Amino acid sequence: MRGKSSESARRISVARILRNVRPFAELDDNEINSIAAVLKEQSFKKDSLVIQEGEIGSSAYIVAAGRFSLEIMGRHTKTFEPGDFFGEIALIDARPRMGTVRALENSLLYSIEGKDIDDEKKISSRTAMKIYRGFSRLVTSYMREGRNLYKNIDVLLIQDGGCAPGYNPVTGFICEYLEKAGREVFICAEGFKSLLSDRPQDYRRLIYHRELYRKLEHIPGVVFAPPLRESRGADFRTERFPEFRLNSKIKKASKTILNRQVKIVVGIGGNGTFAGTNALSKMVPSTVQVFFIPVTIDSDLFGTDCIGEYTGVEIGSEKIRCYMADSRTHKRIYIIEMMGAHGGYHTLHSCLGAGAHLAVLPSSRYDLKSISQLLSERENAVVVVAEGYKRKERQKKKYPGNAATFFRDELIRAGLKTDKRVVCEPFSRDIRGAAPNNLDIMLAQRMARKLTELIHHGVSRQMPAVQADREYSIPFDEIRTDNSVESGLAALANRLT
């Protein structure tokens, strides 16, 4: 008797909660009771996970007691309290969870499975139809709000090109500074490609302030920006998109900017992304302000420090140090290919930082016989070769290897004779995904601050620039993308003699 009484009290309590959950609000008492009967009560201890970001789910949850934290990209974005409903999208669409939900204290949830709603033995088809209609209205309202949200875009960020440490941090800082200045920040989901396909799902709305995010988080594509400030990788870019060189593609993108009533465009990336941003700036109306932020490991934009270069050199130097230790131990000669398509900044500075024996840069022309002789006389050595070394010559000859093997073959033809093992290592791409170090995070913040200042002054076609304690800007027409390295430093990187 006591058991029946307890179960009856539980159902009354659950029914009271369900009446305030939007998809169940139109159900009658009997229908509410049928839902209450299939809900599963689940207890969670403090810090235990309910759902995890990225996993595929099939359950939705109602908070009965306690509190739960929603975390996106490792950062707390919202607290769920008694009566709150979450995970509802999983009941109608098997898609990855958008965030992680963790118990903040010992708590209690009621869970509901999609398969239980579909089981006519548990819930009548009429009731199930009303529930799904409620879910459909909910999701449709999300979609409708999403279409309206992306109809008029204030500030649009565009990322493209090869990944580098700092893409996400500068994006987060731009959102922070511009939102504080009263602007609304959006970003293309896949760089220049998004401007051409131009659907609501091609854009994301970045939000820095937590309270504003809570109001808009249910809309597809709304992203909480603070976690980006220390995040690896580039979440909103596409791999290099060479088709954007075509005039027809640029023209179509400019029409998108006009139709979406974009007021400010900010390109973020390396020299290729700058070329696309610059071309686009010449086709959009003069009322649209256009800017560019340099993010590139190889520092291939002249006149400024580039976000990503500090982390790149730090990680690159450490890799070279590992080869140097192995070279000494096993008495080997390592020839390592590293990033550096044009100037060779990354190769040179990584070589200098690690104390390697020679940096071979794209513009380098060496006495190969002399180098071959010096290497032949050594017990060990580490030579660092930029990926752009004699690239045109290699392409003309249809050389199948990389820059490191090409330089090795040149040395052999020049007379390299050694009984030591010569090992060639290809370019290591994991540097692109390194966690941005403090110097690059600070540089990202300074670039974002300077960008905000430039926007406020009403200028356009400018690139924020930072060197030491100086913050300034460079007009697009004065930007050089063939950043060379200092000859003195290049000479310093030859320790064979």
- What string of H, E and C letters represents the secondary structure of 115-152? HHHCCCCCCCHHHHHHHHHHHHHHHHHHHHHHHHHCCC
Say whether 312-434 and 155-307+436-478 share the same fold: yes
Instruction: Please report how the helices 368-376 and 403-413 are oriented relative to each other, as an axis angle in degrees rounded to 10.
Output: 90
Average pLDDT of the segment spanning 277-282: 96
pLDDT attached to residue 7:
61
CA separation for the pair 292, 286 (Å, rounded): 16
**CA 426/CA 125 separation, integer angstroms:** 61
Alpha helices in 377-437 (DSSP H): 391-397, 403-413
Q: How far apart are CA 140 and CA 225, in angstroms?
A: 25
Question: CATH fold of 2-147, please?
Answer: Jelly Rolls (2.60.120)
> Which residue's structure tokens are 């356009």?
460
List Cβ<8 Å contacts ≥24 apart for 47-53: 47/102, 47/103, 48/102, 48/103, 49/100, 49/101, 49/102, 49/103, 50/101, 50/102, 50/103, 50/109, 51/87, 51/97, 51/99, 51/100, 51/101, 52/97, 52/100, 53/96, 53/97, 53/98, 53/99, 53/100
What is the tens place of the pLDDT at every residue in 351-378? 999 999 999 998 778 889 999 999 999 9
- Topology classification of domain 155-307+436-478: Rossmann fold (3.40.50)
Q: At what angle do helices 345-354 and 309-330 cross, to 10 degrees?
A: 50
As a residue count, the chain comes to: 497
| Across 113-117, 362-366, 383-387, 406-410, least confident range | 362-366
Residue 369: its pLDDT value, please?
93
Rounded Cα distance, 251 and 65, in Å: 56
3-state secondary structure of 157: strand
Residue 307 region by backbone torsions, left for phi larger than 0, else alpha for psi between -120 and 50, else beta: beta
Is residue 346 classed as helix, strand or coil in its secondary structure?
A: helix
Share of the chain above pLDDT 90, in %: 54
CA distance 126 to 108: 29
| pLDDT of the residue at 294 | 95
Two tokens, residue 178: 């511009």
Q: What is the distance between the alpha carbons of residues 454 and 291, in angstroms, rounded to a whole number?
A: 9
Distance of alpha carbon 337 from alpha carbon 118, whole angstroms: 58
pLDDT at position 249 over 90: yes
Looking at the chain, the whole-number percentage of residues with pLDDT higher than 70 is 93
Q: Kindly list the strands in the beta sheet with 100-103, ordered across the sheet, starting from the edge strand earlier in the chain.
A: 49-51, 100-103, 68-72, 75-80
Predicted pLDDT at 408: 95
Which residues contact residue 234 at a Cβ distance below 8 angstroms, ignoring those fewer than 6 apart? 159, 163, 164, 167, 168
DSSP per-residue letters across 273-301: HHHHHHHHHTTS-TTSEEEEEEB-TT--S
User: What is the pLDDT, as a whole number, of residue 1?
Assistant: 45
Residue 140 is predicted with a pLDDT of 67
Residue 289, beta-bridge partner list = 264
1, amino acid identity = M
What is the per-residue pLDDT for 59?
87
Mean of pLDDT values over 392-416: 93
SS3 (DSSP) at 433? helix
**Residue with the larger pLDDT of the pair 343 and 440:** 440
- For the ranges 233-242, 284-293, 317-326, 388-397, the lowest mean pLDDT is seen at 233-242
Average pLDDT along the chain: 88
Percentage helix, strand, coil for the chain under 3-state DSSP, each rounded to 5: 45, 20, 35
Contact criterion met (CB below 8 Å) for 267 and 273: yes
Cβ proximity of 489 and 308 under 8 Å: no
Burial class of 8 by CB neighbour count within 10 A (0 to 12, 13 to 18, 19+): exposed
Query: Which pLDDT tens digit goes with each residue over 423-441?
Result: 999 887 888 889 999 999 9
* Residues forming a β-bridge with 54: none
> What's the average model confidence in pLDDT over 303-317?
93
CB within 8 A of 302, min separation 6: which ones?
A: 479, 480, 481, 482, 483, 484
**206 has pLDDT over 90:** yes
Count other Cβ atoms within 10 Å, centred on residue 160. 27
* pLDDT tens readout for residues 107-155: 999 998 888 888 888 888 888 888 888 777 776 666 565 666 788 899 9
Q: Give the pLDDT score at 147.
A: 63
pLDDT (0 to 100) of residue 114: 82
Assess if CATH 1.10.3720.10 describes domain 312-434.
no
Q: What is the pTM of this model?
A: 0.74
Integer Cα distance of 447 and 229 in angstroms? 13
Q: Of the spans 12-26, 174-188, 338-352, which averages the highest pLDDT?
A: 174-188
Region 68-84: mean pLDDT is 81
Helix (H) or strand (E) segment spanning residue 249: helix 247-259
For residue 355, the model assigns a pLDDT of: 92
pLDDT in tens, 293-309: 999 998 888 889 999 99
Sketch the domain layout of the chain as residue ranges.
2-147, 155-307+436-478, 312-434
- Helix or strand (DSSP H, E) at 472: strand 470-475
